[in-house]
Structure 1
Amino acid sequence: MIAYKAFRPGLICLGYQFVMGMNVTDKANCRKNGFHSAENPLDCLSYYPFKDSEFYLVDAGGDIDEDGTDSKISCTELRILKQLNRKEFFLHALAYMVDHPHREWSSHVKADRAAAHNGFTVVRGPDPLACGKQGDYLALAKENPVNGKIEQIALAQVDGETILPDVWYDVNFEKRTGGLF
C-alpha cells in the first residue's frame, strides 16, 4: 500500500536508522510497534514538525495494523521509495484530497481561509483563501459546495515577488482585498 512517512534528517525515526529500500521488523501494532506511516501525507505532520523533517513516499506491506487515529498505520515491511521535496509533499497531499474528497479531513486542513503557521497552510472550501510569510507554502483545494468533490487545487510558495507575504490569495493566486477581512 502506498503511504507517506516523515523522518528526522538522515532517515531516522525514534532512534532507528532506516535504509532506502526494504526495512523489515517482526510485529506491527499501531499503538506499540512496527514501522509507522500514513495514508494521508498531511497526517505525517501530526508526528513530525514540518520544518525539521524529511518526507518520503513508501510502500507499506507485510502485516498492517490501524488504530483509528487519523490515517496512521503500522506495518512489518516498509519499502522507502522516494524522498519528496516540500512542493512534492504538498502536491501529494492535495492529490490525496482529490482522490478521497469525502474522507475525514486531516487536522492540518483548515476550512475556507487560513494564514500559514509553522511554514505552511492547507485550506479547503468552496472559495479557499490563504496568506503567509516569506518561504511559507500555500496549498488550496477548491471544492464543489454541492457534492464536496475537489474541483481545483493550487500550490505556491511565498517568494516575495509573485506571491507576496501577508497578502490573501485565492485558488487562482489572485489577490483578495477589500471588505473580506
Structure 2
Amino acid sequence: MIAYKAFRPGLICLGYQFVMGLNVTDKANCRKNGFHSAENPLDCLSYYSFGGSEFYLVDAGGDIDEDGTDSKISCTELRILKQLSKKEFFLHALAYMVDHPHREWNSHVDADRATAHNGFAVVRGFDPLACGDHGDYLALAKENPENGTIEQIALAQVDGKAILPGIWYDINFEKRTVGIF
C-alpha cells in the first residue's frame, strides 16, 4: 500500500538506518515494532517536526498492523520510493483530502482559517483563508457546502513577492481582509 514516512535527515528513524529501496524486518506491531508509515501524509507531522524532517513516498507491505490512533501503520516490508520536496508533501496531503473527504481530519488541519505555525498552515472549509511568514507553506482545500467533498485545492509558499508575509489569502491566492477572530 502506498504510504508516507518521515525521517531524520539521511533516512534515519529511531536510530535505524534505512536504505532507498526495500527494507525488511521480522515483526510488525504498530505499538511496539516494525517499520512505521502513514496513509495520510499529514499524520507524519504528529511524529516528526516539519522543519527538521525529510518526507518520503513509500510502499508498505508484508505483514501490516494498525492501532487505530490515526492512519499510522506498521509493516515488515517498507520500500522507500521517492523523497518528496516540502511542496510535493503538501500536494500529496491535499490530494489525500480530495480522495478521502469524509475521513476524520488530521489534527494539523484547521477549519476555515489559520495563521501558519511551524512552517505551514493547512486550512479546509467553504472559504478557507491562510496567512504566514516568509518561507511558510499555505495549503488550502475548499469544500463543497452541499456534500463536504473537496472542490478546489491550492498551495503556495510565502515568498515575499507573489505571496506576502502577514497577508490573508483565499483559495485563489487573492488578498483578503479578515476581522479579529
TM-score bin, normalised by smaller chain: over 0.9
2:138 corresponding residue in structure 1: 138
Q: Percent identical across equivalent pairs?
A: 88
TM-score normalised over the length of structure 2: 0.98
2:46 corresponding residue in structure 1: 46
Are 1:59 and 2:75 an aligned pair? Answer: no
Are 1:147 and 2:147 an aligned pair? Answer: yes
Cα offset, 1:177, TM superposition? 1.4
Cα offset, 1:179, TM superposition? 4.4
> 1:4 aligns to what SS in structure 2?
strand
> What is the 5 A alignment of 1:59-78?
59-78=59-78
Shift >6 Å, 4+ stretches: none
- The answer as to whether partners of 2:36 and 2:75 remain within 8 angstroms in 1 is yes
Letter in 1 for 2:138: L
Cα deviations across residues 76-108 of structure 1 (Å, max 9, x unaligned)?
Answer: 000000000000000000000000000011111
1:114 corresponding residue in structure 2: 114
CA–CA separation in structure 2 for the residues paired with 1:179 and 1:138: 19
**What do you get for the CA RMSD once the two structures are aligned?**
0.9
1:101 corresponding residue in structure 2: 101
> 1:6 aligns to what SS in structure 2?
strand
> 2:22 aligns to what SS in structure 1?
strand
CA–CA separation in structure 2 for the residues paired with 1:84 and 1:11: 13
Cα offset, 1:145, TM superposition? 1.2
Q: Which runs of 5+ in 2 are unaligned?
A: none
Q: How many residue pairs were aligned? A: 181
Are 1:166 and 2:166 an aligned pair? Answer: yes
CA–CA separation in structure 2 for the residues paired with 1:178 and 1:60: 43
- The answer as to whether partners of 2:39 and 2:72 remain within 8 angstroms in 1 is yes
CA–CA separation in structure 2 for the residues paired with 1:142 and 1:155: 12
CA–CA separation in structure 1 for the residues paired with 2:56 and 2:179: 41
Letter in 2 for 1:57: L
1:10 corresponding residue in structure 2: 10
Cα offset, 1:178, TM superposition? 5.8
1:157 corresponding residue in structure 2: 157
CA–CA separation in structure 1 for the residues paired with 2:104 and 2:67: 15
> 1:56 aligns to what SS in structure 2?
strand
